[in-house]
Amino acid sequence: MEINSGDTAWMLAASALVLFMTPGLALFYAGFVRSKNVLGTIMHSFIVMGLVGVLWVLIGYTLAFGPSEGGIIGNLDFIGMKGVTMEPWVPDAESTIPHEAFVAFQAMFAIITPALITGAFAERAKFSTFLIFMCAWSLLVYAPVAHWVFGTGFLSVFAAGDIDALDFAGGTAIHVNAGAAALAAAIMYGKRKGYGSEPMEPHNVTYIILGAGILWFGWFGFNAGSAGAANLQAANAFLVTNTAAAAAALAWMFASWALTGKASAIGAAAGAVAGLVAITPASGFVEPWASVVIGAVAGVLCYGACRFRARSGLDDSLDVVGVHGVGGLWGGVATGLFATATVGIEKGTGFDGLFYGNADQMVDQVVAIGVVALYSFVVTAVILKVLDLTIGIRLTEADEELGMDVTQHGERGYVFDEPIGVPLRPAVATPPAAAQAVPRTEPAAGA
């Protein structure tokens, strides 16, 4: 195939859109935490852009997309970008964009996936250990899973195997993967100090809405960019992405309204994100009408999952499991239900789902979801256990009381009590005053 300038331009723009999602995620997460942890929470997402941005070029990309070793992992042919040229290359060999453009696009997925996990242990992670965990997880969990699903691994439609799992833009490889890791992380980190007995209300709902809006905007690159070209499949992915997000925002808001008597702004924002998660694996395979169903079910299902989590005692601080794990699971299953060959046929990935007479596709979807979730949960738990036994993963109680901003970064997100120009004290003398207690009626990720 020859390089197409229009396809290349679209893929570079899509890459920028996906990168913009990570700062959007940082704001979305930061709005949910207490003000003493806002800067630390933003830093969790922002610094991953640096860590994974370097790791991906050095070794992550070749592990994910290098020629397959037994369908399990990529070899080292592309280590340090060796052999990566301006010639067309993607796993399905139908590329019209430079290999380097493909590397850049996939880098943005590799960046945001570990950033998603950080919401599970918000407000209590030791930053130095966090950096090691992010590096280890990216190489030991994300890279192999990306190879299995996106590359030529044993779950991929691009491999000659018995499993053809459809995952257009990352419902399984990204959201189920991150959701399972988040569950392991929430268990391993344990509950925040004062969880269940102290008020832990979101400190800035405007950040949440702004972050969700940025995520919605960037998701067009996430899904439509996964077509790999400016083509008909990209147009379909663009439309169904917006439709599912809209349907899920309404569904979560109305479900919350029915149960609490209030039309929650947080609920609408979280619902939109849940819809975006759910449509991600299906966006290149389903018709627009199906995206309404996928989004609406995602809104109600993820809202219910978050309410259940809040009553279970699990401190998944920002409901990563409920939104990304459950949303990704539903999206993968929905792909097996609603996929139609007429949408995916352009790139040779035309597969019918259960509702179009192909029950085998549902089996493939469930197998892929189960394999990825189990692998991610177990390996994440092992990584964190090793780190906890060696250098510790949590803040001390005193540091957690003071907050991540001061104790981990020597800075504060907001300074209202000191004149401009006065250096920040290394640590405040007393903990910040507790926020006015407002009874929580909803889970963290949405009302």
pLDDT-wise least confident of 110-119, 336-345, 359-368: 336-345
pLDDT exceeds cutoff 70 at 40:
yes
Tell me: the pLDDT tens digits for 304-318? 999 999 999 999 999
Choice between 288 and 344, residue whose per-residue pLDDT is larger: 288
Give the pLDDT score at 143: 98
Q: Report the alpha-carbon distance of residue 324 to residue 276 in Å, rounded.
A: 10
Domains along the sequence of the chain with CATH? 5-390 (1.10.3430.10)
Tell me: the pLDDT tens digits for 214-232? 999 999 999 999 999 999 9
pLDDT exceeds cutoff 50 at 428:
no
Per DSSP, the residues of 118-183 read GGGGTT-B-HHHHHHHHHHHIIIIIHHHHHHHTSSSTT-TTSSSS-----SSSIIIIIIHHHHHHH
34, amino acid identity: R
Q: Report the alpha-carbon distance of residue 150 to residue 108 in Å, rounded.
A: 14
pLDDT exceeds cutoff 50 at 427:
no
Distances (CA, A) of 289 to 73, 145, 203, 334: 37, 30, 37, 13
Please measure the distance between the N-terminal and C-terminal CA atoms of the chain and give it in whole angstroms. 49
What residues pair up with 73 in beta bridges, in sequence order?
Answer: 69
Average pLDDT over all residues of the chain: 92
pLDDT exceeds cutoff 60 at 108:
yes
Tell me: the pLDDT tens digits for 357-386? 999 999 999 999 999 999 999 999 999 999
For residue 241, give the 3-state DSSP assignment: helix
pLDDT exceeds cutoff 60 at 61:
yes
Give the pLDDT score at 110: 98
Contact predicate 333/165, CB 8 Å: no
Closest C-alpha among 75, 147, 71, 149 to residue 349: 149
